[in-house]
Amino acid sequence: MASLDSHVLKKLVCLSFSTLFIMITMVNSESQCQNFEYIISFGDSIADTGNLLCLSDRNNLSLNGFPPYGETFFHHPTGRSSDGRLIIDFIAEFLGLPYVTPYFGSKNGNFQKGVNFAVGSATALEASFLEERGYHCPHNISLGVQVKVFKESLPNLCGLPSDCKNMIGNALILMGEIGGNDHNGPFFQRRPIDEVKELVPLVISTISSAITELISMGGRTFLVPGEFPIGCSVAYLTLYQTSNMEEYDPFGCLKWLNKFGEYHDEQLEAELKRLRKLNHHVNIIYADYYNALLGLNQEPTKYGEPYNFNFSTCCGSFGVDSCNDPSKYVAWDGIHMTEAAYKFMADGILKGPYTSPPFNWTCLSSKIKNKNSLDTQSSLMNS
């Protein structure tokens, strides 16, 4: 009889552990389900919805404050470095949230559903650090400055500390793209690639530190973009144009510059993996901007012939014309992309396959999901 009781006891213990495991799995599954109520954004011009324009001197506005910027969707310049919407705008639409308000020019604006600290030309590293090495930074709004301003603005954004922690915890925190300008500076000065590579671990460490600080403030979900395939960028193709065809891949992109982008992203992914191990309760999602854009860049005819880019006379300058139909092109102003390209990238980030781990939208209401889902095929791919 005693042996039977022991057998039954063992079965009950096993059953209890199984039930506990199922409950833990359910809790973990539920915690990974994303239904965001807020967007917090940091970065540079890829995510800037108007901060640089607001920070510019009225007598010396940034070029994205002039036509043809904004012509496609908003029908006027908004400070976005494109003809229309950016990736962050498509993310907001998908989530059923309003476009994210730029902080620096709208301190009395509506920040109930989101706030954007991304500034065009911003760097990950401090401007003083880069200036000491001879890399000119036109603005001093680094990632560290953006996070500092965010912390200082919390009483105005959300009030009580408990309310702020709740806001940050229920937000999708977009960390960039940031770091591209740290590399653009020396590359545009034609510095040796080994010199630029030395900056990569410093850039990634800075991004990692910012994420860690935001985690300590209650952040639970981060979308962290990687580098672009800059070897396909019109600006770089113009600057490093060469008659040596062996330097180009079959699609006309400069191989060595794209390898640099791959190197950066490998280092970033490794660091994000380390952060995940240290913060099991946090969802850190890598956004593969490189491959999301690469497929579009591998159609050279999208650029037009020739590259139609000039460093001294940029888009937005007096007398510079834009293409008649930006929806058929990837490149907008030689450095930034068109709304059509950003839409295609946003689709691949929100619905796959360009995020790791992928988003879990199972708890996002079907009404919002169906209303705001992006088209699988954009006019860019059908042109």
Distance, in Å, from the CA atom of 268 to the CA atom of 110, rounded to the nearest integer, reads: 33
Cα angle 102-51-113, degrees, rounded to a multiple of 5? 10
Count of residues making up the chain: 383
Please count the other Cβ atoms lying within 10 Å of the Cβ belonging to residue 144. Answer: 18
299-316 residues labelled b (16+ CB within 10 A) or e (exposed): bbebbeeebebeeeeebb
336 is catalytic: yes
Active-site residue among 139, 183, 264, 336? 336
Single out the catalytic residue among 44, 333, 347, 378: 333
Q: What is the CA radius of gyration of the chain?
A: 23
Phi first, then psi, for residue 130 (nearest 5°) are -70, -40
Residue whose tokens read 């709004």? 141
Name the catalytic one among 41, 45, 56, 327: 45
Contact in structure between 227 and 179 (CB atoms under 8 Å): yes
| CB of 261 closer than 8 Å to CB of 288 | no
Q: Is 83 a catalytic residue?
A: no
What string of DSSP letters covers 91-156?
Answer: HHHHHT-PPPPBSTT-TTS--SSEEE---TT--SS-HHHHHHTT---S----HHHHHHHHHHHHHH
Mark whether 183 is an active-site residue: no
Q: CA 248 to CA 265: how far, in whole Å? A: 21
CA distances 230 to 47, 138, 373, Å, are: 17, 21, 29
CB neighbour burial string for 209-233, b if at least 16 within 10 angstroms, e if fewer: ebbeebbebbbbbbbbbbbbbbbbb
Active site residues: 45, 333, 336
